[in-house]
Amino acid sequence: MQQGEDVSHVPLIRDPSTGLEHTSPEIHSRDEPQALHQSQIHRPGRFLWTLTCTAGISGLLFGYDTGVISSALVSIQSGLSGRVLTTADKSIITSCTSLLALLVSPLAGILADRLGRKKLILVADALFILGALWQACTASVWGMVAGRGIVGLAIGAASMVVPLYISELAPSSYRGRLVTIFTLFITGGQVVAYLVGYVCSSHLSGWRWSLGLGALPAVLQALMLGFLPDTPRWLVKAGKIDAAKRVLEQVYGSGPGMRQVALTVLRAIDEEILEEDAHRTRHGHGRGPAKRTSCLGLARVHDQAGELCGVASNRRALTIACLLQGLQQLCGFNSLMYFSATIFSIVGFRSPTLTSLSIAITNFIFTLLAFALIDRIGRRRILLYSIPVMILGLAISSAAFHFVHLKSMPRVSGSGSSGSSSSSSGIDTPSVSPSDTPTPHDNNFAILTILVAMIIYVCGYASGIGNVPWQQSELFPLSVRSLGSSLATATNWGSNFVIGLTFLPMMDYLSPTLTFALYAVICVVGWVLVWLIYPETSGLSLEEVGDLLQRGWGVHAHAHVRRSGGDQGGVGVLHRRSLSGSAASASASSLQLHDERRSGEVDEHSA
Ligand SMILES: O[C@H]1[C@H](O)[C@@H](O)[C@H](O)[C@@H](O)[C@H]1O
């Protein structure tokens, strides 16, 4: 096949020796150059931006729905079931969202393979709309729990499938940044939710509006998504080669050589699927090649699970993805997201809700920083640099709490009515009387230190661990990508649930000093594990990441990319890969060669 030739019809043919279906042998011509630099890709074009931002609206919904409930709970008063909400009501209403998100995430992986990535986003939209309207109209506490549960289903599905959708569309050199847009939308949604909640809280039934407004972005996204395609990787896997090729040509644009790049990417995807099919046939996983077009059935789930746990590189990928997602939540960040107003209230701030807005805004701004840096610095290095900042912030908070005279602790049981006011977190906090406000002789310095330390912590969080785990899909080969991503997403929601449930009791029984010290210790352990087992994946194609994990954890591989010039640095090079022994070592040397070509490689452990 000549460069630039129109390849609009790429038929599926059956290989008589293996019985596997694959694309035309022309596409697999061994005379083709083995690698093509994606440095030719200047910037993601309008098509890719439209796809990414349209999918990112799910992130906005995720952030909005997780953020808006805190102010809504304050404003509800006796608007549900004709009584004031108890603290237990508030806890159940808040945590049922993460619980349902946790339960749905494994199922979302199956559906993403079965229906396609795009259709699953549409299903999530339908749930977002239903959940928002339900919450806005419900008259009872249990109705609200059901509405929050429906939103939880939507968030669980969206948080699994959207990063997958974006990473399967993005060229490797932009993948980190484009996936980070998802987190930008989440954190932006949280800021919007805090602001909308603040504005609506001054109206009697404003909380119904703030909850119902969540339907609007979902309607918008569903309308836009109707015109957009599924990912090339899912399309190839579903046997829709022509459609996949069309999408790739749109993603890579029509500049000089870009059709060739699109064709090479198509070939790499196709080869990956072929090799995985062959590997599965050889090792007895799955039912062989006929699955190319029927691989989306539920019967595959068992095989996928076997492949995920039975193949060493997949096990490593799963361990890393779950480690990062677990760390993202167990480091305690969402205890600030949900309860920062409570914390600021008990230490004596006069306007805890507005003070807690500073947390949401810092989170958003530093996610912007991550967006700018993630592909330049790399995922691993950004974590190794930013986690110590988090540890510093937590350690200072922990120490400062020791010197603060707390007004009194939030109560984790009892009614929200007597003698207490509700913070925007939805948890009862004691009223702070004028005499409670700190005096210069009291602990103003320590209180201010807590605020500054928390902001330092959020800066570290948002620029690293708040984003990097959502790059999870890149760790898995296509055959187990959905299942692996969904288990990692479940780890995220499981840990989120644990943090939401344990934070207040820990503050109460352990003390704030020990609670924050514990989060700091978790971050130290997390940093060591990241250092030991998380390799740099920045700039590698999805197919190359698989190569990296085949020979151990890959942290010693000189796979990091030093930028050879602005945005063009860290380019991905496409390589053939094979799961067979000899080809694997050939692939290993090709990776080395590829790395040698990249200027200024660094030893990962020196990063
Ligand atoms: O990546 C996001 C982001 O960091 C949010 O601010 C946080 O609330 C979510 O739990 C997390 O998954």
Residue-wise DSSP of 200-224: HTTSTTHHHHHHHTTHHHHHHHHHH
What's the confidence (pLDDT) of residue 94?
Answer: 84
Output the residue whose Cα is nearest ligand 1's atom 2: 466
**Highest averaged pLDDT of the listed ranges 179-188, 270-279, 399-408, 496-505:** 179-188
The alpha carbon of 205 and the centre of ligand 1 are apart by a number of angstroms equal to 28
477 Cβ closer than 6 Å to some ligand 1 atom:
no
The reply to whether 605 falls in a domain is no
183 Cβ closer than 6 Å to some ligand 1 atom:
yes
The reply to whether 364 falls in a domain is yes
What's the confidence (pLDDT) of residue 38?
Answer: 47
What's the confidence (pLDDT) of residue 41?
Answer: 54
Of 416-425, 539-548, 567-576, which gets the smallest average pLDDT? 567-576
485 Cβ closer than 6 Å to some ligand 1 atom:
no
**What's the pLDDT band for 284 if we cut at 50, 70, 90?**
low
- More confident: 305 or 20: 305
DSSP 469: G
Is this prediction's ipTM beyond 0.90?
yes
The reply to whether 298 falls in a domain is no
334 Cβ closer than 6 Å to some ligand 1 atom:
yes
282: Cβ contacts below 8 Å, ≥ 6 apart: none
192: Cβ contacts below 8 Å, ≥ 6 apart: 60, 63, 64, 67
* pLDDT tens sequence across 478-532: 889 989 999 999 999 999 999 988 888 898 889 999 999 999 999 999 999 999 9
What's the confidence (pLDDT) of residue 505?
Answer: 87
179 Cβ closer than 6 Å to some ligand 1 atom:
no
Rounded CA gap, 129 and 95, in Å?
20
Output the residue whose Cα is nearest ligand 1's atom 4: 466
Give percent of the chain with pLDDT exceeding 70: 75
What's the confidence (pLDDT) of residue 19?
Answer: 41
186 Cβ closer than 6 Å to some ligand 1 atom:
yes
The alpha carbon of 21 and the centre of ligand 1 are apart by a number of angstroms equal to 41
In total, how many domains does the chain have?
A: 1
Which residue range(s) make up the domain with 148?
46-228+313-533
367 Cβ closer than 6 Å to some ligand 1 atom:
no
The reply to whether 177 falls in a domain is yes
pLDDT of 103 > 50? The answer is yes
Q: How confident is the model over 227-248, as a mean pLDDT?
A: 92
363 Cβ closer than 6 Å to some ligand 1 atom:
yes
Cα–Cα nearest to 437, from 327, 341, 346: 346
The alpha carbon of 493 and the centre of ligand 1 are apart by a number of angstroms equal to 11
The alpha carbon of 64 and the centre of ligand 1 are apart by a number of angstroms equal to 11
Q: Which atom of ligand 1 is nearest to the CA of 187?
A: 6
What's the confidence (pLDDT) of residue 90?
Answer: 82
Rounded CA gap, 601 and 544, in Å?
17
The alpha carbon of 337 and the centre of ligand 1 are apart by a number of angstroms equal to 9
**What's the pLDDT band for 604 if we cut at 50, 70, 90?**
very low
pLDDT of 476 > 50? The answer is yes
What's the confidence (pLDDT) of residue 298?
Answer: 62
Give the pTM.
Answer: 0.80
The alpha carbon of 289 and the centre of ligand 1 are apart by a number of angstroms equal to 40
- More confident: 31 or 61: 61
* pLDDT tens sequence across 60-85: 999 999 888 877 887 888 889 888 88
Output the residue whose Cα is nearest ligand 1's atom 5: 187
The reply to whether 600 falls in a domain is no
**What's the pLDDT band for 442 if we cut at 50, 70, 90?**
low
Q: Domain containing 382 — which CATH number?
A: 1.20.1250.20
Which helix (H) or strand (E) segment is 155 a member of? helix 141-169
pLDDT of 7 > 90? The answer is no
**Residue whose CB lies within 8 A of the most ligand 1 atoms, among 194, 328, 493, for a mutation test:** 328
DSSP calls for 423-453: -TTSSEEE---GGGS--TTTTHHHHHHHHHH
The reply to whether 97 falls in a domain is yes
**What's the pLDDT band for 173 if we cut at 50, 70, 90?**
confident
The alpha carbon of 142 and the centre of ligand 1 are apart by a number of angstroms equal to 27
* pLDDT tens sequence across 355-412: 888 999 999 999 999 999 998 899 999 999 999 999 999 999 999 999 988 766 655 5
Q: Which atom of ligand 1 is nearest to the CA of 462?
A: 4
What's the confidence (pLDDT) of residue 299?
Answer: 67
DSSP 475: G
The alpha carbon of 446 and the centre of ligand 1 are apart by a number of angstroms equal to 27
The reply to whether 139 falls in a domain is yes
What's the confidence (pLDDT) of residue 143?
Answer: 96
**Residue whose CB lies within 8 A of the most ligand 1 atoms, among 102, 333, 338, for a mutation test:** 333
* pLDDT tens sequence across 309-357: 989 999 999 999 999 999 999 999 998 888 887 788 888 887 777 788 8
The alpha carbon of 494 and the centre of ligand 1 are apart by a number of angstroms equal to 14
39: Cβ contacts below 8 Å, ≥ 6 apart: 173, 568, 571
Q: Which atom of ligand 1 is nearest to the CA of 329?
A: 10
Output the residue whose Cα is nearest ligand 1's atom 10: 334
Of 30-34, 153-157, 536-540, which gets the smallest average pLDDT? 30-34
The reply to whether 304 falls in a domain is no
What's the confidence (pLDDT) of residue 344?
Answer: 84
pLDDT of 166 > 90? The answer is yes
Q: Which atom of ligand 1 is nearest to the CA of 470?
A: 1
What's the confidence (pLDDT) of residue 600?
Answer: 34
**What's the pLDDT band for 108 if we cut at 50, 70, 90?**
very high
Q: How confident is the model over 163-180, as a mean pLDDT?
A: 90
Q: Two tokens at 514?
A: 């020990």
Q: Which atom of ligand 1 is nearest to the CA of 337?
A: 8
337 Cβ closer than 6 Å to some ligand 1 atom:
yes
Rounded CA gap, 495 and 492, in Å?
5
- More confident: 568 or 559: 559
Output the residue whose Cα is nearest ligand 1's atom 11: 466
Cα–Cα nearest to 570, from 39, 9, 7, 193: 39
- More confident: 469 or 432: 469
Q: How confident is the model over 400-429, as a mean pLDDT?
A: 55
What's the confidence (pLDDT) of residue 328?
Answer: 98
Averaged pLDDT of the chain: 79
What's the confidence (pLDDT) of residue 479?
Answer: 85
Output the residue whose Cα is nearest ligand 1's atom 12: 466
Q: Two tokens at 252?
A: 């890579």
What's the confidence (pLDDT) of residue 258?
Answer: 81
325 Cβ closer than 6 Å to some ligand 1 atom:
no
What's the confidence (pLDDT) of residue 303?
Answer: 78
**What's the pLDDT band for 229 if we cut at 50, 70, 90?**
very high
**Residue whose CB lies within 8 A of the most ligand 1 atoms, among 60, 183, 363, for a mutation test:** 183
Q: Two tokens at 244?
A: 């996949």
What's the confidence (pLDDT) of residue 409?
Answer: 62
Rounded CA gap, 259 and 136, in Å?
49
Rounded CA gap, 538 and 176, in Å?
7
What's the confidence (pLDDT) of residue 127?
Answer: 98
Rounded CA gap, 366 and 541, in Å?
26
